Structure 1
Amino acid sequence: MPTEYSPCREIAQAPDEEANIALVRQGLLGASPFLPTLAFSLDLLEFYYCLRRRHPSVGTQGFAKVISAFHNALYYPKLQEKLAAAFDVYVDLKERLQKKTDVALNRVGDNWRALNGCPCCGFKQHNEPMLVPARLHAMDGNNSQKRLQGVGHTDEREFFSDYFIPPEQVDTFADEVKGTRRTAPATGPPVPDSANEDSDSLPTSNQPATKCTDSWQAANASAMGKSVTQVFEQTGIFLTTCRHGIVEFVEEMIKSGELAKYALASLDAIMKTYGADQGVGYDIGCSMDSTVRSTSLSERAAAQRLQLLVNAFHGYAHNRACQLKFHPLYRFGIGIEDLETCERIFSWLNIVARNIRHASLYHWRLFLHICLKQWDEDRYANLSKFLLDNYRQSLATIQEYEYELTAFQKLTGFAQDDFERWLIEEAAYLEKAQDEPEEDLQQVAYVENLLSLQKAQEKYGSITTVEFQTYTPADFASGVNLRPAALRARELERRAAQRKLEIAENVVSDLERRLGIEDRWTTTTPAFIVAREAMDKTEFVRAVEQLEGLVVQRLFELAKANISGTGYKMRKHISHAITRCSAAVRKAIDKYNELALLQSPPRPTFKYEDVANLSWLADFELLKESRSDILDRPWSSLANREAATKHFKVLRAREELVRLNVEIARLQAWVDHEDAELSDSARILRASDPLLAAHIDRLRCIRRQVNDNHRKRLQQIFVLPGYTGDVFISVESSTSVDSSLHDDAGDGDDVEIDGDDEVNEEVVRIGDLIESLSVQ
């Protein structure tokens, strides 16, 4: 292998395992526990550990090839196996050191990380105002982190992570939702019953005429199908995070899709760990709210005032009645939080998917654990940026919308109380709205079939009339073509028209019998006129639903178009899909506008630019209503609804300021507490355990740089015009590096980097570090 100073060295065989101890003292780690012949430098393993945490797609094989190429050595497969073995030992040593450090810092006990991982959520201070909800969470499932069944079966090791809820604890909720099954989307294929055997599944909403669950269909067992769940042992993960993005709990989805038991287990863990007044965002929170009330969690959820909400972006595709009850915009105390945190984490975790698909269960959990730890560290480094950005956004919202609302109120005479009253009136109306009576539906069907019968009679009459006109003596004399093939074709056409006429006549007769109609309706019959108007309204509602579905589909495609890591071919495919969908949306708008003018009263028409506005999705249900008194009410006006929306955004922005003031005080207290805690622990341990003390002292230096950066950003918040919280004076460490270098620490997550450029940069960094290690 390489030179004498290479980070990967061949060594002479040693007589026993004590050789590894001697190697470690020299800064090397053997590739086997007994008689090692190859060792890797600890610096190299630490570098790969850091690289793997920050760029999980770099596997051991690729890294081993880079080492070989850098040293102009021939790569051989055994090198990758030995590197993986040494890396496993090194990671195990790191985990053992972390546990020992946690004991020294008294960071032990059940759920310590979940309780204290986010200081903005958990580091409560004396005399702080009470927040309701006390904490905000988001939960969702993702099916990218699959693991093939049967792979790595010889690896019997078990990896414990305090992120994961044990599968046996999750399975206690397996029988809570038997018999409820999420329906297949209207545009998709029917779901076979066999796909749901022996498994609970995501609930359907109990609200009337809702499509919430269908609009945001996750990868449940029905959607996945048995072929997928039989191939994979782990089919993904179910995640729970705080509003700042720090992970709280993770569950393995085993041989199934996103079942209700995972959500119930997460809610159970949230209530046990964090207590009362918790707010949880879920893409089908409306359905889950009904489900919780029918499970063993019902009484505890009610006693602890658990609030279930729908994520902001997902919520815009739910119906209006659902939005008024579950959307964060209309819920007290939520602030400007969108509860879409899980989607951002999944975007990061998708990078590791390719390296854990064929991994053993030990490595599957291990590499997810490593990635989650890095994600949490990055989110901790971004806490002060989160607070600063949200404070600025809230102040800007208040300043902009309050000015517009004041002008609107002067122009219209409406007051703020009117906006609140409109919301109550609209919710009450939608709650009382019911489906059309069965008799009305049958009368509409009768009219539709009468019109079909009329068309069938006209078709059959036109064929027989043409036939009699064709076969006259004069036509025979003029040489009409009477070849047998032509005669057969005309006869087949006549018979087909006759069959359609007979079928239409039978259907109409059957409906007349059911409805008790003795005299067949005509176009002048009063009942026919009423039913025809209802039929026109039904056609209009279908046009609205088609337009709504196309707009939601367009949102899906736009959301996917800019996902980091999407390949060129997929981006090209999505681009074509957006173009096609846009054309379909324009065609649907034309159809809607044509039917809107025929309604009584006429509905408003729209341009393509109008439906491109996301907030307009909330008005689809209103367009379907036909009662003129509803359209005359103030809350049905699009301008008034837009003003009301801005009013609620101002309310949520003011609530956000209150929550941010509390979180700012918590973060300020935490950074001072942690710096003192690490310093005191290192000082106390210097006499009894100098090596552990040195490690904690190194950790203190790293954390002090991050905490000093927090202090700088907090000082920026304190001087913001409009800041309403307490001001804290904090002094940065005089021994830390220039804090100006850390002004943007952790901000890189907001910038998309092209995948190829990122890989090239990583390879350059690998070469620079290995070169520096080689000359030491």
Structure 2
Amino acid sequence: MPAAAVFPSVVITVRALEVFRRLQLRCPRLGVQAFVRMLCDIHGVAPRPYLVTQFTVAFDVHLAILDAVDRQVQAALGRDIPDWRLKNACPSCLYKLEGEAEIPLPLLATVDGNNSLKRFWRREKVVDADGNVAPGSSKERVDVRAPPGDYYLPREEVDRWSKEGLEDLMRDFVPGSEEGDEGGGCTERWQNMKEDATARAYGMYDETGIFPALCRHGFVLVIVDMVKSGELAKYGFAVTAHLLRVLGELGLGYDIGCKFAQMVRMHPVLSPLAAGKKFKALVGAFHGHAHNRRCQLSNLTTYVPGVGLEDLEGCEKFFSKSNALAATTRYATVFHRQQAITTYLKHADTADAYQGLSLLLASKYRRALKIKGTTALLRETMASMGVDSRSVFETWLEKEKEFLATLSKEPVQETLEMEYYQKLVNLQDLEERLKIITKVGHPMLPADADATYAAVASQTRRIETQRRHAIEARDKTLAVVRDLEVRLDIARRWEDDGDDWIRVAKMAKNRRYQRALDALEGLVVARMFELTKVNMSDTGYKLRKHIAKALQARSKGVKSALERYNEAAVAMSPPRTELSWEQIVDYVFLADFDLLRDGREDIHDELWAQPAGRVAMDQHFKLLRADEEIARLNLEIPRLVTHMADEDAFLIYHERRLIREGSPALGHQVGVHRMERGRFNTLHMERLVKLSKEPGFTASLTPVPIAEDVEMPDMGTVGTVAALPEEPEADIDPDADVDTELLADTFERIMFMSEDT
């Protein structure tokens, strides 16, 4: 492969380029510079900077040739229609069969933003008169090349969703005001981070990360770049709209799914599309435990019918591998960064997601069977609690929702009464303070003292000022008390020994307790996520040090919040359970935090509020989701088996057709394409056959044939399930002249490809 278009002085073998491509796909941290230095070591020459540039040029040409060959192969197979890859990205999700049962939420996907794959923005340095250095205009060379494949949504398509001020959709939104609000007030807790350090980072980088969408089996559906910003709504809007238009009904997992669902409902363009496609936004199992309990009951996968046992956290698993690309793309050009990402995505789909597909299906099936095996234990628990039917758990769930709804917003009457009570307490304190100040007499000039008249006058003025301020504060508070008495229609002012005073005082203590608990919950959640990040692999030293300092400050905040909580808990009547620092440190899931509250309704004697009842209720819903998971897997496994048979027959047919029609090179490439995924088919069948021997397995491992009354479709279309007939062998004349040179070249190419494989 030449390193220059005209008069090249250096050439690089295709084998070396292919070795580097394969190595980098398996180890994304490997850069061009390290590989070129390795070649220099092998050849015994000194490394030169220009060798890296020459190798990069040759590698770009190599990738361009591979992409051109791939496009010719897809065209020969009839798969060059728009969105063909997306419609066929995952065999188990999208290769639907004739006569299969319908399930709710037929496609489950997950989206999230990741800021690891940033790209440094090369800009001119501008020095002002004071010597301060500031970034100027871009000095990057214009490169109009597009990355291979169709994984990326164009920036213009994404930016179209931000032209109408869509980021401000939630600015005037009052949680709970919309019909069908299922966030439970949780939406107002999630905001984009706007720290000064983050804002400065956006000035250093052009692309600040990626925002991908993956199916539940880990195949990448689509991806967009986050540009000069954090995780904005436009990225989620663009991806969701594209998936709904191309793939139809969709259940989407997102770490802020509760807020995103409301934003979609409020969107003038996306809302009708989402309603027509039965769009459902959900919260992943891991991130869901940072949401409040009311939000979990509506959006957490455990309580949503049709989701099965899917955790919708595939993006986190994907990022743990793709973060390795950051080392080689941080200072790349726009094109080279996207080229590296799309090349990696194609390899990840083929060699990682597809290779592990049968293993993932088998592990999901075994997990569902294991959960179903706990049915007898649930029955024993129900018998000990006196519960006759599992339908009671559905009633408990509704009761919990109703109870938490009463905690989400205080009634206006109660709010005014608590404010009136607090003002009365303040009024009493101010009157006592005024009495004390009034009793203080004016200082006198002692005859034998050194005090001057000016000092005594100053002290007198200080006392008078304090008395005037106390009177003004008392009068202001008294005016507020009178206004509240008019609004509450109180004819006689409350006394501290009256029934109303005692009743509202208890309510005020309860609210103080609840707010202290909320503050403690929020700090513990933040601490959980920071601990997760600081222990994560590939976390840099500076970031680890920054998080460690934040954890120290967070620990002090948690201790202070814990002290306030314990004070409020002890002040309750009867006193509530105090928490220790050891208990806070050991907290993992916070779903029960809200149930520690005391509302207007006493739930301490309710079965669903007791630990045993809650465990039994959660076990009931896990069993429901396990049944749904098995039903979904009973569709996905036959889809995979049928897809393997159909794909193999389809590619063999076209490989022979192309060779027969005089395109042996293209036919050979179709064969290479067939082996790319086909090498895993035997492994898939071994895993599935082993799974079929498990007790309780009910899926079919027989490929689904096409119906007899259906004409043979074009195998380039979506969702076909037919096996094409074998092509008749061509008649060979033994006496015909044979081009020995062509035969030798063909044999050499075959041997070359077999060695690479």
Superposition TM-score tier, normalisation by shorter sequence: 0.7 to 0.9
Q: CA deviation at 1:397?
A: 1.9
One-letter amino acid of the structure 1 residue matched with residue 248 of structure 2: G
One-letter amino acid of the structure 2 residue matched with residue 419 of structure 1: F
- Alignment of 1:534 onto 2:507: yes
- In the TM superposition, what are the counterparts of 1:67-466 in structure 2 within 5 Å? 67-149=39-121, 150=138, 152-175=140-163, 178=166, 180=168, 207=181, 210-218=184-192, 229=202, 231-276=204-249, 278-294=250-266, 295-377=268-350, 378-399=352-373, 401-414=374-387, 415-431=389-405, 435-438=409-412, 440-449=414-423, 451-452=425-426
Q: Contact (CA 8 Å) 1:449, 1:504: kept in 2 or not?
A: no
Distance 1:466 1:516, change over 3 A: closer
Q: CA deviation at 1:417?
A: 0.8
Q: Contact (CA 8 Å) 1:447, 1:528: kept in 2 or not?
A: yes
Correspondence for 2:21: 49
- How many Å separate the matches in 1 of 2:461 and 2:601? 50
- How many Å separate the matches in 2 of 1:639 and 1:432? 24
Q: CA deviation at 1:472?
A: 10
Distance 1:529 1:64, change over 3 A: same
Q: CA deviation at 1:285?
A: 1.9
Distance 1:431 1:118, change over 3 A: same
Question: Deviation per CA, 1:462-513, whole angstroms, max 9, x where unpaired?
Answer: 8998999x9997xx99x9x979999999899978966874564254134224
One-letter amino acid of the structure 2 residue matched with residue 240 of structure 1: A
SS at match of 1:37: coil
Correspondence for 2:12: 40
Q: Contact (CA 8 Å) 1:152, 1:359: kept in 2 or not?
A: no
Correspondence for 2:484: 515
Q: Contact (CA 8 Å) 1:678, 1:696: kept in 2 or not?
A: yes
- In the TM superposition, what are the counterparts of 1:376-775 in structure 2 within 5 Å? 376-377=349-350, 378-399=352-373, 401-414=374-387, 415-431=389-405, 435-438=409-412, 440-449=414-423, 451-452=425-426, 501=470, 504-516=473-485, 523-568=496-541, 570-571=543-544, 574=547, 581=554, 585=558, 588-589=561-562, 591-600=564-573, 603-606=576-579, 617-687=590-660, 688-728=662-702
- How many Å separate the matches in 1 of 2:527 and 2:477? 40
Distance 1:538 1:246, change over 3 A: same
- How many Å separate the matches in 2 of 1:693 and 1:485? 109
TM-score (norm 2): 0.79
Larger mean CA deviation between 226-235 and 628-637 belongs to 226-235
One-letter amino acid of the structure 1 residue matched with residue 477 of structure 2: V
SS at match of 2:223: strand
Q: Contact (CA 8 Å) 1:240, 1:266: kept in 2 or not?
A: yes
Q: Contact (CA 8 Å) 2:166, 2:234: kept in 1 or not?
A: no
Q: CA deviation at 1:606?
A: 4.9
- How many Å separate the matches in 1 of 2:233 and 2:476? 43
- How many Å separate the matches in 1 of 2:242 and 2:532? 31
- How many Å separate the matches in 1 of 2:453 and 2:689? 96
TM-score (norm 1): 0.78
Distance 1:210 1:614, change over 3 A: farther
Distance 1:111 1:529, change over 3 A: same
- How many Å separate the matches in 2 of 1:686 and 1:677? 15
Distance 1:130 1:567, change over 3 A: same
SS at match of 1:293: helix
- How many Å separate the matches in 1 of 2:120 and 2:420? 55
Q: CA deviation at 1:613?
A: 7.2
Larger mean CA deviation between 710-719 and 63-72 belongs to 63-72
Question: Deviation per CA, 1:727-754, whole angstroms, max 9, x where unpaired?
Answer: 4499xxxxxxxxxxxxxxxxxxxxxxxx
Q: Contact (CA 8 Å) 2:301, 2:310: kept in 1 or not?
A: yes
Question: Deviation per CA, 1:198-257, whole angstroms, max 9, x where unpaired?
Answer: xx99999954995533544445x8999765555543333221110111110112333443
Question: Deviation per CA, 1:74-107, whole angstroms, max 9, x where unpaired?
Answer: 2222122112111111111111111122223333
Q: Contact (CA 8 Å) 2:183, 2:298: kept in 1 or not?
A: no
- How many Å separate the matches in 1 of 2:167 and 2:153? 25
Q: Contact (CA 8 Å) 2:381, 2:616: kept in 1 or not?
A: yes
Distance 1:431 1:446, change over 3 A: closer
Q: Contact (CA 8 Å) 2:214, 2:315: kept in 1 or not?
A: yes
SS at match of 1:619: coil
Q: Contact (CA 8 Å) 2:108, 2:216: kept in 1 or not?
A: yes
SS at match of 2:593: helix
Correspondence for 1:754: none
One-letter amino acid of the structure 1 residue matched with residue 294 of structure 2: A
Q: CA deviation at 1:175?
A: 4.5
SS at match of 1:133: coil
SS at match of 1:147: coil
Q: How many residues align?
A: 678
One-letter amino acid of the structure 1 residue matched with residue 353 of structure 2: R
Q: Contact (CA 8 Å) 1:230, 1:255: kept in 2 or not?
A: yes
Q: CA deviation at 1:532?
A: 2.5
SS at match of 1:157: coil
Q: Contact (CA 8 Å) 2:437, 2:467: kept in 1 or not?
A: no
SS at match of 2:47: coil
Q: CA deviation at 1:607?
A: 5.6
Q: CA deviation at 1:412?
A: 1.0
Distance 1:512 1:464, change over 3 A: closer
- How many Å separate the matches in 2 of 1:374 and 1:496? 79
Larger mean CA deviation between 626-635 and 609-618 belongs to 609-618
Correspondence for 2:747: none
Larger mean CA deviation between 237-246 and 203-212 belongs to 203-212
Distance 1:214 1:34, change over 3 A: farther
Q: Contact (CA 8 Å) 1:264, 1:292: kept in 2 or not?
A: yes
- How many Å separate the matches in 2 of 1:291 and 1:411? 45
Correspondence for 2:33: 61
Distance 1:339 1:30, change over 3 A: same
- How many Å separate the matches in 2 of 1:424 and 1:584? 35
Correspondence for 1:761: none
Question: Deviation per CA, 1:395-435, whole angstroms, max 9, x where unpaired?
Answer: 22222x32331121110111201101111233344446663
One-letter amino acid of the structure 2 residue matched with residue 508 of structure 1: T
